[in-house]
Structure 1
Amino acid sequence: MQCRLCDSDRLTSVLDLGATPPCESFLAADDLDLPEATYPLHLRLCQDCLLLQIPALITPEETFTEYAYFSSYSQSWVRHAEQFVATAVERLALDTDSFVVEVASNDGYLLRHAVARAIPCLGIEPSVNVGAAARAAGVPTETTFLDEDSAARVRAEHGPADLVVANNVYAHIPDLRGFTRALRTLLSDDGWLSIEVHHALNLVQLGQFDTVYHEHFQYYTVYSAQRALAVAGLTVVDVELLDTHGGSIRLWARPEPVAVATPRVAEVLDLERAAGLHDPAGYAELGPRAESVRQELLRFLLDCRAAGKRVVGYGAPGKGNTLLNYCGVRPDLLEYTVDRNPYKHGRYTPGTRIPIHPPERLDLDRPDVVLVLPWNLESEITAQLHHVGEWGGELIYPLPVLHRGVPMGEPVAAGLADTKVN
């Protein structure tokens, strides 16, 4: 394996999660007696450019031609997008003469706020089903994968963009250098690029191993992102630390001739350096942290089973499928899970084959324990499920450490935290 950014062959193992199915490959009932493909999930670090990465064993076309994730089902994510648009309009003086492009625009969760302000925009979304939902909501959307050819065509048809948004997509592209050049092609010479991506600082420091899955080909610090963007003559000029997805970074980049960096870039680089992430040795604790989470979760679930407690899940996100597969959790320990996305209803989680039902099933069954798999949405989900406590049920979050979302009574297992860990 060679580094996809700098071509170095000096890659070192950071975390080996075994072999799992792709995290969004949900199974229909008719699939349960058929073989299921699995692929190694092995995170490595380039010792030369410090890019965290996994081998590109599946293609984006396999994952994203039809996709199970619809952004608008997360209320907090929609609010986050609305706030971003409002801030970008003010910061960049966007108006009806501007042009905004979002890459991997999903179901129009963000650009609908640009449409509401009459700002010309275009979504570029590869998933046929998700892009159709965006168009139905009134968001102009082109169904295609962004590469250098499609970027040139979009620019020729629509002109250069004043703002290009790439939220939670920069990790999903195996051709990192070609995709970065495509972003630059979309952008005007004095334009702005905004990228949101999970911060490897949180991945390593907090043991967020469940954010590793096959459609995430690389994981960024600001340091490694700077090197990646430089491939296309883009310079990081600002960085914001966000609490989305368990801790993300928003990178603002501009073409080199107009790039002037704010002090925040150096400040975040200093944070990463202090955490040891500008040196390969700083990544050594991720594996032991993942093992600790696995042991603690399994101990808790086994104790619940021994006590005759009924345990079900909430959510069926990609990160949840990494967690369940790595920990070996199956229907004997987690009877089923529920999800707000109708696309997943009646299907089964990949690998672990846990049934997925509508959220109303919780109110019918009144389980003793609800294990929340999208732990990064703790505030939103705890508010949605506050009524679980009315029948004596508990909300349990597996990461960063096993803890209760709604503390009730005494701890149910040794080591279970009584308070939220942010």
Structure 2
Amino acid sequence: MHITCRVCGGNVQEFVDLGRQTMANGFLRPEDIDSEHFFRLAVGMCESCTTVQLLEEVPQHLRYHNAYRYHASGSESHRKHFERNARRFMESEPTGPDPFIVEIGCNDGVMLATIAQAGVRHLGVEPSGNVAELARAKGVRVLNEFFDVKTAFAIRAEHGRADVIFGANTICHIADIESLFLGVEALLAPDGVFVFEEPYLGTIVGRTAFDQIYDEHVFYFTVRSVQAIADRFGLELVDVEQIPMHGGEIRYTLARPSRRTPTPAVNALLAEERTRRLAEPDTFERFGNDVKRVRGDLVALLREIRADGKRVVGYGAPGKCTTVTNYCEIGPDLVPFICDSTPSKQGHLVSGSHIPVRPPEAFSQDYPDFALLFAWNHADEIMAKEKSFRDAGGKWILYIPDVHIV
């Protein structure tokens, strides 16, 4: 099958297939099981621009809607991270007397709330109505729309150009990347910056973090591919910074050509990617084999624990758990339920695998023998909070970068 690159029109070569999947954040009521949308979760790399991307896209109106289950403020580490981002933007970026900051996909206002409290002019563009309302409740000004070139021109007409356009775990979600970048180019002030933080393909491959692959993540960026995308749409990649969010991301900073001097970090990471062969087929072939190995090891461990009469429950129900449970064919027979602190997920089922999601009290009221940690990127925060589980003899199961018990 010939797959055309969404960025440059080149040929996309498939390298991993995670099977029949459904929407990562499509947590279901039991009565809604028959309405699930399934698709083939496979990923490939463009042979021309090297952008890694999903082969099959789930329409964005099915992914983002008025019952979207992900709330960015749910983690203390997230809240602190985005508060730091907000203060950084306000202190270092705006140059005029009335700065304007736009966030693409502001979710529940976790970043813009700090900017709103400071009285800085801002706008969040958020397509999911329920989380947009949560942001408004924090004093954030929100446009309940998808960001594209049409939306960008409308924002510019009403508010003027933006000193900062920001996106966190959002830019890789937008399949129509041409409309996105044309919109950024239209809205960005002459000396403004477009800053976005996204899961890093180098981390996904290096840590066998296959659960970062799901319907919302249409693209999996490297410094090389972002530089190619920026060049294509009239922008310049001027800085990159590795950050610990979601187990390892990169913050990319783009500007208009010749407005800023690129930092040495750009060439340094490009050189590292060449050394790691992050655009070579053999790298992705090894990744695919590693993913299969992790699946086999995890399922074998869970079956062994069940055979020994021990109990396992899941901890944390991020979108990643949908990929893991469906690819590994883990159902309620191996993991009877998953505990999660997000109220909108509780009482629902993980899509596809149909594992029930329960509140944290279900974990602490009757500790299991093992907890399978799906929210592994928050391991330190979670394990510190759940010290009593360890004190009671409980053990954690992790599967990134390989299956192990701690």
Could you say which residue in structure 2 is the equivalent of 1:117? 118
Tell me if structure 2 keeps the 8 A contact 1:114–1:121.
yes
Deviations 1:113-163 (A, max 9, x none): 112222211111000001011001111111000111111001110111111
Tell me if structure 1 keeps the 8 A contact 2:19–2:42.
yes
Question: Which stretches in structure 2 are left out of the alignment for 5+ residues?
Answer: none
Percent of residue pairs identical: 35
Report the more deviating stretch, 85-94 or 217-226: 85-94
Could you say which residue in structure 2 is the equivalent of 1:254? 255
User: For 1:36 and 1:97, how far apart are their aligned partners in 2?
Assistant: 46
Deviations 1:11-36 (A, max 9, x none): 2221111111111111102124x263
Task: Give 1:253-332 correspondences, 5 Å limit.
Answer: 253-332=254-333
The number of aligned residues is 403
1:399 has 2:400 as partner:
yes
1:20 has 2:25 as partner:
no
Give me the CA root mean square deviation.
1.5
Tell me if structure 1 keeps the 8 A contact 2:42–2:56.
no
Could you say which residue in structure 2 is the equivalent of 1:170? 171
Could you say which residue in structure 2 is the equivalent of 1:50? 50
> Offset of 1:345 from its aligned partner?
1.0
Task: Give 1:27-106 correspondences, 5 Å limit.
Answer: 27-32=28-33, 34=34, 36-66=36-66, 67-92=68-93, 97-106=98-107
> Offset of 1:56 from its aligned partner?
4.0
> Offset of 1:106 from its aligned partner?
0.3
Task: Give 1:133-148 correspondences, 5 Å limit.
Answer: 133-148=134-149
> Offset of 1:315 from its aligned partner?
1.2
> Offset of 1:282 from its aligned partner?
2.8
Deviations 1:340-387 (A, max 9, x none): 111011100011100011111111121111111011111111122122
> Offset of 1:107 from its aligned partner?
0.3
Change (3 A) 1:403 1:119: farther
Question: Which stretches in structure 1 are left out of the alignment for 5+ residues?
Answer: 408-422
Could you say which residue in structure 1 is the equivalent of 2:367? 366
Tell me if structure 1 keeps the 8 A contact 2:57–2:218.
no
Tell me if structure 2 keeps the 8 A contact 1:50–1:280.
no
2:10 pairs, out of 4, 8, 11, with 8
Tell me if structure 2 keeps the 8 A contact 1:21–1:39.
yes
Tell me if structure 2 keeps the 8 A contact 1:101–1:165.
yes
Could you say which residue in structure 2 is the equivalent of 1:337? 338
User: For 2:229 and 2:325, how far apart are their aligned partners in 1?
Assistant: 32
AA aligned to 1:292 is R
Task: Give 1:88-237 correspondences, 5 Å limit.
Answer: 88-92=89-93, 97-237=98-238
AA aligned to 1:59 is P
Report the more deviating stretch, 57-66 or 279-288: 279-288
AA aligned to 1:134 is A
- Give the secondary-structure state (helix, strand or coil) at the position aligned to 1:347: coil
- Give the secondary-structure state (helix, strand or coil) at the position aligned to 1:183: helix
Could you say which residue in structure 2 is the equivalent of 1:380? 381
- Give the secondary-structure state (helix, strand or coil) at the position aligned to 2:173: coil
Deviations 1:202-230 (A, max 9, x none): 11122111111112111110100111122
Tell me if structure 1 keeps the 8 A contact 2:306–2:334.
yes
Deviations 1:286-325 (A, max 9, x none): 1011011111111211111011111101111111110111
- Give the secondary-structure state (helix, strand or coil) at the position aligned to 2:171: coil
TM-score (norm. length: structure 2): 0.96
AA aligned to 2:54 is I
- Give the secondary-structure state (helix, strand or coil) at the position aligned to 1:317: coil
Tell me if structure 1 keeps the 8 A contact 2:317–2:374.
yes
AA aligned to 1:120 is R
Tell me if structure 2 keeps the 8 A contact 1:180–1:231.
no
User: For 1:96 and 1:344, how far apart are their aligned partners in 2?
Assistant: 43
AA aligned to 2:4 is Q
